């Protein structure tokens, strides 16, 4: 039972692949390198804004759980996947006018909105160049489809601002397109040299784990502490983003609570007190519990997909990664 | 002598490939198609914002001048090239906060800045998906490099706002990256099945013609009539963009004129009168004449590259396209 397992840290998941993850970081630096001073400056900020490297980790574990031996090209593919993720973050922050990411200023905040738009394009085209250099049409096929789906997810995000019109089904489509597709793509790319059954199992594993990951992210936005998450609590509500806890809780709220939600959504700059009220109402009406249960169900589905693989240490680490997804605090 | 030839219309250049250009338009519509209503809405605006189709035209003429017979895949490749161009325009307009393009409202003006950022990503990833579907690694290699160079061109553009610091060499690098690289890429992709000599000749043809095209664009910004160009005259000056005519004229200006330039560049919203003064000073000090001469020299270089090809009607149309580049009014 995943939900009862002991907390798992990301460091524990990455312990067996540390040298390869170092390789991924070096490869990312190589891929984004530029002569042009302004780009070099942005790059240096981006590499300091070191992420969790979740997608490269899953790609390499997926390879470990399905292939005979590690392929050196997987390190490059893992770097490309992280690069696509980075490009998406840079554009998402520009679109959302976010000022903080992982506790550091975003590119649009530190440089400018214009530079963020151009840098996203720069990073993404570098990722494509590397895939072409590797002549890896299968990876290109998966990752170009994934990138396109993510743009559709971003469009869905723009419309996710009216809690009365945004259903759980809409949320599901949004989360699949925005988050699960790249995590699933990373897992599938890691399994490219495996059998079709294993490849499909890893794709499904990534899809379910990816949705669960985003749901937990959205729960953490309600419950998280800024020191942990690197962003203020209730940020989604502040930005009028409707997520699963609110979708579930809203029809179960008292009339007074619903008015609080409507007022918050109408207020361009809601107060901390207004946000705290809605956070409390969502918790009281079972929104957080419901979202956590959904995430657990999805992780159980992801775990079932792992049964298609032969037993291996990497498979067990992938299993443990589901506990990490559910239990993480940031 | 190109510069003495009679004016050539775009319609005349396209006369021999009209059915294929219709195919390109249909292919673009197919490539960008979306179930998602908001994207479908933007797409419908984009397809109404019909461009000159210069890049597909050059790609198909390049194929005609170098290959034995027309390859049906070239229509798709031409559509992909135009799609990349479109993606770039959508992001450029977002970066520049432009409100008009080809006499029609831009995506950022009509929808929103956010939608423009996402749509650029959407269009570009669709272009990559199509190249991957065709399994055309050579075209992918050229066009991913080109896309990356264009982002560097956009970064250079951001820095092109101080006429005292932006040299002709800077301008040259900017124009190569921003405009010439995709036109050159289109010509090279059209010649992919030709001999290395012919392929290289077409690449150089496109490079020189592309720089000349941009220089003429920049001259038209000084001299053009809004009804022709679809944008107000002096727009570059209004947006504080430094182009070749100003770079050449500035050191030749009187102290009073130079102060006018400095004042205009310092004024966030320069008046029509201030713009008209600088336009006149640039013309008086030979900036327009110098830029036109540079464009003619580049077209002569482009014409010389055509000598590497066997004689053919398509080669003569490519030659005529240089006259179009120089003589066009829009």
pLDDT for A26 beyond 90 = yes
Give A208-243 pLDDT, tens digit per residue: 999 999 999 999 999 977 666 666 678 899 989 999
Nearest by CB: A115 against B121, B147, B158 = B158
| Residue A109: Cβ-neighbour burial (10 angstroms; 0-12, 13-18, 19+) | middle
Q: Return the sign of the alpha-carbon dihedral for residues A222, A225, A230, A231.
A: positive
Architecture of domain A2-327: Orthogonal Bundle (1.10)
Nearest by CB: B122 against A128, A132, A151 = A151
Split at pLDDT 50, 70, 90, the class of A105 is confident
Cβ contact A147–B121 (<8 Å) = yes
A158–B contact, CB cutoff 8 A: yes
Task: Work out the average pLDDT over A102-121.
Answer: 88
pLDDT for B148 beyond 90 = yes
Query: To the nearest whole angstrom, how far is the Cα of B98 from the nearest Cα of chain A?
Result: 12
Cβ(A144)–Cβ(B143) below 8 Å: no
Separation CA A57–CA B301 (nearest Å): 51
Confidence at residue A1, expressed as pLDDT on a 0 to 100 scale = 43
Phi-psi region of B102 (alpha: psi -120 to 50; beta: other; left: phi over 0): left
Give A36-62 pLDDT, tens digit per residue: 989 999 898 888 877 889 999 999 999
Split at pLDDT 50, 70, 90, the class of A92 is confident
- Mean pLDDT of the residues in chain A: 92
Cβ contact A121–B34 (<8 Å) = no
Task: Work out the average pLDDT over B254-266.
Answer: 95
Give B312-323 pLDDT, tens digit per residue: 999 999 999 999
| Residue A255: Cβ-neighbour burial (10 angstroms; 0-12, 13-18, 19+) | exposed
Give A151-167 pLDDT, tens digit per residue: 999 999 888 878 778 99
Confidence at residue A3, expressed as pLDDT on a 0 to 100 scale = 46
Chain A residues near residue B117 by CB distance under 8 angstroms: 91, 94-95, 117, 120
Confidence at residue B329, expressed as pLDDT on a 0 to 100 scale = 81
B154–A contact, CB cutoff 8 A: yes
Confidence at residue B98, expressed as pLDDT on a 0 to 100 scale = 82
Q: Where are the domains of chain A?
A: 2-327
- Mean pLDDT of the residues in chain B: 92
Q: What is the ipTM of this complex?
A: 0.91
pTM over 0.90: yes
Give A234-264 pLDDT, tens digit per residue: 889 998 999 999 999 999 999 999 999 999 9
pLDDT > 90: what percent of chain A? 75
Tokens 């680490």 sit on residue: A317
Cβ(B116)–Cβ(A117) below 8 Å: no
Confidence at residue B295, expressed as pLDDT on a 0 to 100 scale = 98
Confidence at residue A227, expressed as pLDDT on a 0 to 100 scale = 64
Cβ contact A132–B117 (<8 Å) = no
User: Nearest-CA residue of chain A relative to B159?
Assistant: A38
Kindly report the length of chain A.
330
- Mutation choice for A interface testing from B40, B95, B136, B138 by most A CBs within 10 A: B95
What six digits make up the tokens of A216?
């937990």
Cβ contact B152–A36 (<8 Å) = yes
- Mutation choice for A interface testing from B42, B119, B144, B156 by most A CBs within 10 A: B144
Tokens 């390859």 sit on residue: B71
Confidence at residue B150, expressed as pLDDT on a 0 to 100 scale = 96
What six digits make up the tokens of B326?
């120089």
Separation CA B161–CA B154 (nearest Å): 13
pLDDT for B3 beyond 60 = no
Tally: H helices and E strands in chain A:
18, 2
Q: Bridge-partner residues for A104, per DSSP?
A: A101
């Amino acid at each position: 039972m995943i939900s009862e397992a002991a907390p798992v840290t990301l460091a524990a998941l990455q312990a067996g692949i540390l040298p390869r993850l170092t390789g991924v970081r070096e490869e990312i630096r190589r891929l984004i390198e530029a002569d042009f001073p302004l780009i070099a400056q942005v790059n240096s900020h981006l590499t300091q804004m070191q992420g969790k490297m979740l997608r490269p980790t899953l790609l390499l574990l997926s390879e470990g759980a399905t292939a005979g031996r590690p392929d050196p090209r997987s390190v490059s593919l893992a770097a490309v996947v992280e690069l696509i993720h980075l490009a998406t973050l840079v554009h998402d922050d520009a679109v959302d006018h976010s000022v903080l990411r992982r506790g550091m200023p975003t590119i649009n905040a530190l440089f400018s909105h214009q530079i963020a738009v151009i840098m996203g394009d720069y990073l993404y085209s570098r990722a494509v160049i590397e895939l072409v250099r590797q002549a890896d049409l299968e990876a290109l096929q998966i990752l170009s489809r994934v990138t396109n789906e993510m743009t559709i997810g971003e469009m869905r995000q723009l419309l996710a601002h009216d809690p009365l019109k945004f259903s759980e089904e809409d949320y599901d489509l949004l989360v699949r397109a925005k988050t699960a597709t790249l995590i699933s793509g990373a897992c599938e790319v890691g399994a490219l040299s495996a059998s079709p059954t294993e490849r499909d199992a890893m794709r499904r594993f990534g899809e379910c784990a990816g949705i669960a990951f985003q749901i937990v992210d959205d729960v953490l936005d309600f419950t998280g502490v800024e020191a942990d998450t690197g962003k203020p609590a209730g940020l989604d509500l502040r930005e009028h983003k409707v997520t699963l806890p609110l979708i579930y809780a809203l029809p179960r709220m008292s009339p007074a609570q619903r008015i609080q939600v409507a007022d918050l959504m109408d207020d361009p700059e809601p107060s901390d007190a207004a946000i705290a009220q809605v956070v409390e109402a969502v918790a009281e009406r079972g929104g957080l519990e419901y979202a956590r249960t959904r995430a657990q169900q999805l992780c159980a589905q992801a775990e079932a997909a792992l049964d298609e693989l032969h037993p291996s240490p990497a498979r067990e680490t992938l299993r443990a990664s589901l506990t990490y997804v559910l239990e993480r605090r940031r």
